[in-house]
Amino acid sequence: MTASTRDKGLTDTEVLTARQTSGWNELPAVTPVKPVVVFLRQFTSFLVVILIIAAGVALVLGEVIDAITIGLVVILNAVLGFVQEWKAETALTALRNMLAPMAMVLRDGQEKIIPAREIVPGDILVLAPGAKIAADAVVIRSAELTVDESVLTGESLPVAKSDGATTGEVFAGTSVTSGRAEARVTATGAHTEFGRIAHLTGSVGTGVTNLQSKLSGLARQLGIAALLVAATVAGLGIALGRDLVEMVMTGLSLSVAMVPEGLPAVVTITLALGATAMVRHKALARRLQAVETLGAASVICTDKTGTLTENKMTATLIWTADRSYDVTGTGYDPAGHIAFGGARVRAGDDPVLAAVLQAGLFCSHAQLRREGESWHMTGAPTEGALITLAYKGWCDLPDERGLLAEIPFSSARKRMSVLYLTGDGYCVLTKGAPEQILGICTEVMTGAGIRPLAPGDIEEITRAYTEMAGRGLRVIALARRRTDTPQIVEENLTFLGLVGLIDPPRAEVRSAIASARSAGIRVIMITGDSPVTAAAIAEQLSLTVTQALTGQELDALDEAALLETLSGDVLFARTRPEQKMRIVAALQSQNQIVAMTGDGVNDAPALKQADIGVSMGIRGTDVARDASDLVLLDDNFATIVRAIGEGRRQFANVRKFVRYLLSSNAGEVIALVVNIAIGGPLVFLATQILWMNLITDGVTAVALGLEKAEPDHMQHPPRDKTDAILGYRGIATIIVLGLYTGLSSLWIFFHLMDQGVDLARTTAFTGMVVFEKASVFAFRSLRLPGSRIGWFSNPFLLCALALTLGAQVLAIYWPPLQTLLRTVPIGLAEWQWIALFALPVLILPEAFKLLLMRGQRT
């Protein structure tokens, strides 16, 4: 390619040739998940498999109604899971398609705006402020180019670029903050640095959530136990000479009784309702279990730039030889003000302050404009902060026609100067690094006037900017010179003052971190920014830090030393994606449940490595969102704390209704086994067991899953990763309630046998339903009595009880259900027996929890 061709960019023929070699400028498309795949994976749960087998056995034995009933439960569970997961997938696709990136290139000597995916290696990108760089490239011509690489590196400050391969590399996904340039594309698509990190993200396998693991283990245990008990009882009955079909149906009844058929549907409904509630709180769960897993998080590893902070440079402090000023407000909204001693100050109140504001405002190319109710800045973040500062101080705006000349900022000079024609004549205004500005100043401006710059002044200024830098501020010095000639002379300037800038923390983050701390959750900052800046932000957020470790220092640690470091209050700075993954993996090796937040492509591998990845929906890159489990639709860190509370509520409710369902099933199993052991007729028929497990228990369990969070749920440390859903206390509760309800039903059954087996069975069947409904109050809270959580705080449960008890009345008095369930009407005496045995189920658990609570107080 000739030099003239290079200057004009590629021709159409060269573009086609390059595309045949390199392909389109896009990351390898993630194979879209087909709807049928999402639907079919709802049938992979062990409990669901058992239900499918039970339905098949019932169908083979001719029990069509039983088979259809179980099949409907399986289908309901699958539909609910599919709807929620597919909604999450399509919502993310909509986020990706909201913006089709475009880019300006030079081709055939003409500047053209084309879709970014059409760029090929060899293309010349035309870069201007605000442009998003569409491919990796090397700058070939530039004018004071700076690039925001925070999305790739986590560094909050723009990076200066110059011509050449050494210092002029620009990367896909980053954006131009100031200056102009032409850059030749060197890599596109998966071959870019952006693509390399995306590939790194893809190398991390998809993990199983904590709830999935526990439910799978519980399902396996229940399934194996159900099959063993059913086979043993059926085999024993056949060996004793009982009818083969009767014993097979008895075994099926036992297996159906032991396996809580409603559990998959109840879990899915509860998690789906929780996920829907989280969308109202601006959080999108990509998997149903995502919010529950976040509720179990013991550590939150969070990025700084754009996650804890606003990713908007803001002036917070002005220093002059006379005094220092505080500046309120964040970002580029000029609604804040400048204050001294608590009183608001404007440019007209202090000539030195007016000079500082004027220098920052005039010596800038950034623009601030209002669009509707919000303000938008175009240009370098530092200059945007200085312009916003001038607006807050009510500084007079410059006359653009007064700008006569400029010496732009460069990384070598570390300063910028402009020449303005004002009403007082020509004025040189300069801003830059304090040591550079101080070196060209011979005077200092004070409220009493301008005086020579003395050694004591230099020491004071040096001490001031050193102290500001130590607080994590980026310090800009400002100076000026009156002149009679229209020339920029950078010498003998008058020093005006210093401005301290920082990317400020989000307003809601401090309280969110405090809430996390009160819930026993550690927050660890992992950033690509400098350790000084990171420590300053941590201090402002009241995030305790005793050690700041850089990525280079992290590489020097072996695994044992890293684990020891992680036991303290540490933050990590200047980290690379691989290092973030290592930190997350080290925490996981300590049995921690790790949540990772972030928005940049540099966060994506760690997001996927973590137990729960939390990305930002507005600022987040596609790579970060695709790697995450939870997307914050409002980019609000405080939403994470709400999601933690929701996750804790979900797991607590899952634990409640699992124990409730199993205690109900335990009563049925005990009644059946004892009855068979003593040689009596079946106390419950298979259809009656299905009615209890699917219709009455299932509806009640769903309502129990809607129980509100307990008052103190965020004042307890996160549960241990190894905590079982049941636990010894849960198993004991299930056994005690199961023994009582099972033996009570059996006593009623045999007590009424003289009046006919159908009446006895119907009364025992109804009694078991009532006992199970009464026992639900014991599970509304596993620790607190009803008086503490509110007897009527869950109206859904009260409605479910009314509905299921009404359905049971129909089951024994409505002829169609009498035929289906083989029931007969029962009288007042039978109802009295049922009520008598139900009272202890209501009273004793509440009395026990009251005594337990009083014992804890003392």
- Please, which residues have CB within 8 angstroms of residue 732's CB and are 6 or more apart in sequence? none
Structure tokens at 499: 């401005």
CB 779 within 8 A of CB 704: yes
Between β-strands 493-502 and 441-446, what pairing exists: parallel, antiparallel or unpaired?
parallel
Structure tokens at 393: 């101080």
322 φ, ψ (degrees, to nearest 5): -90, -45
Helix axes 795-813, 757-775, angle to 10 degrees: 180
Cα–Cα nearest to 308, from 502, 152, 547:
502
Between β-strands 594-598 and 299-302, what pairing exists: parallel, antiparallel or unpaired?
parallel
What dihedral angle (degrees, nearest 10) is formed by the CA atoms of 614, 619, 624, 626? 90
CB 632 within 8 A of CB 228: no
303 is catalytic: yes
CB 565 within 8 A of CB 548: no
Cα–Cα nearest to 311, from 512, 68, 86, 505:
505
Name 318's bridge partners: 325, 499
- Burial of residue 282 (CB within 10 Å: 0-12, 13-18, 19+) is middle
CB 264 within 8 A of CB 222: no
Q: What is the DSSP string of 579-591?
A: HHHHHHHHHHHTT
Helix axes 351-362, 381-392, angle to 10 degrees: 140
CA angle 699-702-708, nearest 5°?
135
Cα 121 from Cα 22, distance rounded (Å): 7
- Please, which residues have CB within 8 angstroms of residue 656's CB and are 6 or more apart in sequence? 704, 705, 707, 779, 780, 781, 782
- Burial of residue 305 (CB within 10 Å: 0-12, 13-18, 19+) is buried
Coil/strand/helix, residue 613? strand
Which residue out of 66, 303, 611, 697 is catalytically annotated?
303
Residue the block writes with tokens 């010894």:
728
Q: Which amino acid is at 586?
A: A
Element (H, E) at 253: helix 244-258
CB 615 within 8 A of CB 635: no
What dihedral angle (degrees, nearest 10) is formed by the CA atoms of 550, 302, 607, 722? 110
CB 397 within 8 A of CB 424: no
* CB atoms near residue 789 (< 10 Å): 17
How far is the CA of 24 from the CAs of 190, 338, 847, in angstroms? 10, 51, 70
15 φ, ψ (degrees, to nearest 5): -65, -45
Residue the block writes with tokens 């850059």:
183
Cα 279 from Cα 270, distance rounded (Å): 14
Cα–Cα nearest to 432, from 486, 495, 482, 492:
495
Name 685's bridge partners: none
Structure tokens at 358: 């004027």
CA angle 669-671-677, nearest 5°?
100
| Separation of CA 112 from chain center | 39
Mind telling me the catalytic residues? 303
